[in-house]
Structure 1
Amino acid sequence: MLKLAVTGAGGFLGWHVRVLLRAMGWPQPVVLGRGDLTDPGVLAAKLAGVDRVLHLAGVNRGEPADVAAGNVQLAAQLADGLKHCADPPARLVYANSVQAGNGTPYGDAKAEAARVLADTGVGFDDVLLPNLYGEHGRPYYNSAVATFCRLLAEGGRPEVHADRELSLVHVTDAAARLVGVPAGGSWDQAMPALRIGVQALADRLTDMAVTYRTGEIPSLPDRHDVRLFNTYRSHCFPAHYPLALPRRADDRGELVETVKAHGGAGQTFCSTTHPGITRGEHFHLAKVERFVVLRGSAEISLRRVDDAEVLRFPVSGDEPVLIDMPTMWAHKLVNTGSDELVTMFWTNELFDPDRPDTWPEPVEAAVRAVPMTASA
């Protein structure tokens, strides 16, 4: 495994790179902040022993002159630091854009930044990224997907004023391409793209949101549908949970509809858990997973990967509720009662022991959170 250094580690793409590294069991990357880039000596010292540098930091919004100058300046600072390294990294990977050289201040600045970085003498990989979407993107900033998801999560509806075709890549696939991780997980470094019109995208996300409003799972026929749904769910969590389940009773007993999945996909299983025992302590990159306690009492705890705050939900079989585990959040379930706990679990895919998409991560871990920034 490689030792990486990352600029823009606190941004949207940077966080997903760090999550992927955590899933792969690679070392935490060296984080290169804006302050480090201003001092070539400090930067060279932080790059000692690093195998690969990922340059993700950039300026995407602002006055045209500031956008142009900012992207070139960041590249020049990084290049200067690399030239001060006694033993520079073997490879520099640049998160460039398909807009590079398109005649706009942003596109031309990205192209110029690539030229600056290519002149460092370090092996250079210029990766042209299309529109990225995924969990916890910033609305009105990272992508139309994030904006539409936030509007829908808050009860609004997307409005499309100018329709055009988009080429969308899930951010974990882009992270896999930049890091160079081997195939075999839920990622694809070939970066398969979803080509879709803006209006069709708004309609697809709206249909998902309407279906999910009562806890029903929308039809998820392909990997982009799953990832769009996970992106929408990231904007719902934690405010929409737990979600109460309707109970029906007659003289025979009670019935609770725990999962209604359109399209019929998925796998359901039940487990018993002894008092004081914990299940979970892992996260998923793509899997949709639902917990419903049917008997006994428990606490469901979750923490977003590389964040410190732990969210806790006390649940009981006396009043069944559903909590869907958001992707890239470590989670666990603890039997807090004195009797055996009965829990129903549902996932959107059949369990594959060769590709389980289950990555060990303690919920109560002490982490060094990297602040989210506006970096690319």
Structure 2
Amino acid sequence: MFWGKTKKRDTRLAINIGTGSVTGLLYHPLLMGESDGDQKNVAEHPEVIKVLTLPKSFSSPPDLSNISRSIKNGIKELRGLVDDNLHISGITVILSSPWFFSQTRTINMERPDAFEVNRELVKNILDEEKDLFVHGARGRSVVSPVDDPEIIEISIMRTLLNGYEVEKFFGKKTISAVFSVYLSLSLKDMILRTQDQLHDAFHTDNIIFHSFPYIFFRAAKHIFDTSRGFTIVDVGGEITDVTIIRDGVIEETFSFGKGINFIIRRLSSAFNISPEEALSILNLAHRGEFADSAKDMKMKVINSAIDEWSNYFSEIVKQATSHKFLPSKLIFIGEGARFSFFNQIFKNEDFKEKIYKAQNFQPQTISPKVLRNYIRGEGKLFAGDADTTGLFLSTLHYDVGIHD
């Protein structure tokens, strides 16, 4: 809705790049009370115009050497879904695994006398943390000696001065300061190559990159109570990403190489059927509509694959959070999130015992329709599965002005 003298709204494109897969979304961003003389142009919510999805690929797990070609082809195919006469004012690129590496760092400062938190002090802190972050990424072989890293995000998520949380901290005096900083990087070659491909396809240089955990976190702050903590489980095609948010910050991100395609291929191999037929079996099992004589055999294969997925999940969670409980609220998104098998795992007593004792998990799947109170658009655009949730959230992320 607009009040006063109206102004034509920009059209932006959000693109999510995963393991060889590309999806997109066209939207009008929020107008934040821009002045036009003594009039104001205000849109209450971002508005989705079109969701751009491509056919799913169930080929063998992609070879990293071929992923770039798949992304290039995906961008070309998305271009074909956009009206040639539509002007794209800017693009937000959301990187999912394996295209980013991230870390949260906590910086503690304490001095006997009060000091001012000014821009120079904060800049020096962030520059030092950036260098340590890149060095650590090389040490963990995330970035090889011959690759150049590209920092895509460095953001202070929370600041404590004298033990109290402060949003506007510049110019404040304190004797102690604690900064929680989120950093992420990708490979410069990948960033530059993607920028060139997007520029050629959509004719804009206004292209920004973000990691998925950061997009979700910054948008979720306006929807959920992030202080109580929750865990985001993004079940992708090839990879499952896990992000733990606690005390209002991203505490940890990690992933493992088992997504929904792993279960589809397991069914396909067991019964010598196509991946598309295997996906159909998964859908029937999810809806409880099995009626053939092979029901028990099929469920045995599905349950075996789900058990394997849960074992990977529990092991990596225990390694990453050995000294803490996993937040009980779990938010499922991604290609596999619509299947009830995954959130049912967290209601299983044996599984809960495997991670932490006496933990009552509250699993919830977040699909686009959950965001209807925050984003406008035709109802049919929100009918998709949770694999496009990140794209919808990115419209909120950009609109609240957090594209640093």
TM-score (norm: length of structure 2):
0.27
TM-score (norm: length of structure 1):
0.28
